[in-house]
Amino acid sequence: MDKSIHTISGIKTLVSSSGEGRTLLCLHGWGGSHESFTELREAMRNDNVRIIAPDLPGFGESDDPEFSWSVDDYANFIEELVKELNLSNVLLIGHSFGGRISIKLASRKCEWIDHLYLCASAGLKNREYIKKKIGAWLACIGNAIFSLPVLKSIKSFARKVLYKLLRVHDYEETSGIMRETMMKVIEEDLEGLLDTISQPTDIFWGTKDKITALRDGKIMNKKIVQSNLYTYRGTRHGVHRDRASEIAEIIRKQL
């Protein structure tokens, strides 16, 4: 695997690349990096495919954006990356947050996207979204409370317990601009864009996913006209890693 640094949208960006052949552009989830697709690279190491995976701004070895970004900002970034690398006839795969960006790109009718793959994609507002919003709000309050002198000694432990109970690990692990970015990103509901997607689409989901529920995958499958939904019993949110071999087998049909 080769790694190179590019300046995309004014941001120093790490881009990893391996193999030769049809381009598979991989967008990782929140908190991930190009290494999120290690298993998929391994599963497709003998295929006629060039796998490109950037570290999105704010993650891995890429720099943070200078201000809080929206989904559109990330989509603009990927469009610039595609131009910089002179990519065409691209197979686009996104996991979770990367799926959110992929939906936005596909809805723009980007001609360079030949086929779309969504792995446990985020993007729909539902009960999980409400829980995240409430959880983040309570986390802010909890952080303030445990900053009081009388409670300061147990702040670190109490905060970890609170975040675990509220399941807002993403909020816990971000700060500053990236925390603002996270809140801006989850505010946008992409459901209205689904029926504008014309690219053939394959959707992969684990039945035990507690981050993005399977019902979201079913909604995407219903609203994206040319789509197929593949479910994997017992698999959680990391379907792109845990089921890399099965996903690779489906991608091979487009090579």
The answer to whether residues 205 and 175 touch, using CB atoms and an 8 Å cutoff, is: no
pLDDT digits (tens, 9 = 90+) for 188-239: 999 999 999 999 999 999 999 988 999 999 999 999 999 999 999 999 999 9
Residues 119 and 132 in one domain: no
Domain that holds residue 250: 2-124+190-254
Per-residue buried b or exposed e for 111-128, using 16+ beta carbons within 10 Å of the residue's own CB: ebbebbbbbbbbbbbeeb
Q: Do 72 and 175 share a domain, yes or no? A: no
- Do both 107 and 211 map to the same domain? yes
Predicted local distance difference test score (pLDDT) of residue 152 = 52
Going 202 to 42 to 22 to 113, the CA torsion angle's sign is positive
Tell me if 143 is assigned to some domain. yes
Q: What is the pTM of this model?
A: 0.85
| Residue 95: inside a domain | yes
pLDDT single digits (tens) 139-173: 555 555 556 565 455 555 555 555 454 444 454 55
User: Are residues 94 and 194 located together in one domain of the fold?
Assistant: yes
Is 160 found in the same domain as 50?
no
Indicate the SS3 state at residue 236: coil
Q: Rounded distance, CA 251 to CA 18, Å?
A: 16
Could you tell me the pLDDT band of residue 175, with boundaries at 50, 70 and 90?
A: low
**Within a domain: residue 156?**
yes
Interacting residues of 92 by C-beta distance below 8 A, sequence separation 6+? 25, 27, 102, 105, 106, 113, 115, 116, 117
The answer to whether 89 and 112 have CB atoms below 8 angstroms apart is yes
